[in-house]
Amino acid sequence: MSQLITPHGKEERLIPLLLQGAELEAEKKRAASLKSIRITTREASDLIMMGIGAFTPLTGFMGSQDWKGVCDKYLMADGTFWPIPITLSTDDESVKEGDELALEDEETGTIIATMTVSEKYTIDKAHECKAVFRTDDTEHPGVQKVMEQAKYNLGGPVKVLSESYYPEMFKDVYMRPAESRKVFEEKGWRRVAALQLRNPMHRSHEFLAKIAVEVMDGVFIHQLVGKLKAGDIPADVRVKAIDVLVENYFVKDTVVTGGYPMEMRYAGPREALLHATFRQNYGCSHMIIGRDHAGVGDYYGPFDAQKIFLEIPEGALKCQNLNIDWTFHCFKCGGMASMRTCPHGKADRLLLSGTMVRKTLSEGGELPGEFSRPEVLEVLKKYYMDLEEKIEVKLHGAATGDLGKK
Q: Which residues pair with 37 in a beta bridge?
A: 103
The Cα–Cα gap between 302 and 311 comes to: 16
* 323 labelled catalytic: no
- Residue numbers 326-365 binding Zn ion by CB under 5 A: 330, 332-333, 342, 344
Closer to Zn ion by CB, 151 or 344: give it.
344
* 198 labelled catalytic: yes
Closer to Zn ion by CB, 208 or 342: give it.
342
Residue 391: alpha-carbon gap to chain centroid: 29
Helices (DSSP H) in 192-266: which residue ranges?
203-215, 235-249
Closer to Zn ion by CB, 211 or 274: give it.
211
Closer to Zn ion by CB, 35 or 332: give it.
332
Residue 316 C-beta: closest distance to Zn ion, Å: 38
Question: Which SS3 state, helix, strand or coil, does residue 343 take?
Answer: coil
Closest CA to 245 of 374, 357, 59: 374
E-state strands within 254-362: 255-260, 286-289, 320-323, 327-330, 335-338, 349-350
- Beta pairing, strands 255-260 & 218-224: parallel
Question: Which SS3 state, helix, strand or coil, does residue 387 take?
Answer: helix
Residue 327 C-beta: closest distance to Zn ion, Å: 11
C-alpha triplet 107, 125, 130: angle, nearest 5°: 115
Write down the catalytic residue from 198, 321, 323, 373: 198
**Residues in binding contact with Zn ion, number by CB under 5 A:** 5
Q: Which long-range contacts (CB under 8 A, 24 or more apart) does 238-243 make?
A: 238/197, 238/198, 238/199, 238/200, 238/201, 239/170, 239/172, 239/173, 240/379, 241/200, 241/201, 241/376, 241/379, 241/380, 242/197, 242/200, 242/201, 243/172
Q: How far is CA 188 from CA 81, 99, 253, 285, in A?
A: 29, 47, 11, 14
Going residue by residue from 294 to 333, which x/- string records binding to Zn ion, judged by CB under 5 A?
Answer: ------------------------------------x-xx
Closer to Zn ion by CB, 153 or 327: give it.
327
Write down the catalytic residue from 190, 199, 323, 358: 199
Closer to Zn ion by CB, 34 or 339: give it.
339
Closer to Zn ion by CB, 279 or 349: give it.
349
The Cα–Cα gap between 129 and 136 comes to: 5
The Cα–Cα gap between 81 and 73 comes to: 9
Question: Which SS3 state, helix, strand or coil, does residue 291 take?
Answer: coil
The residues assigned a catalytic role are 198-199
Q: Where along the sequence are the contacts to Zn ion (CB under 5 A)? A: 330, 332-333, 342, 344
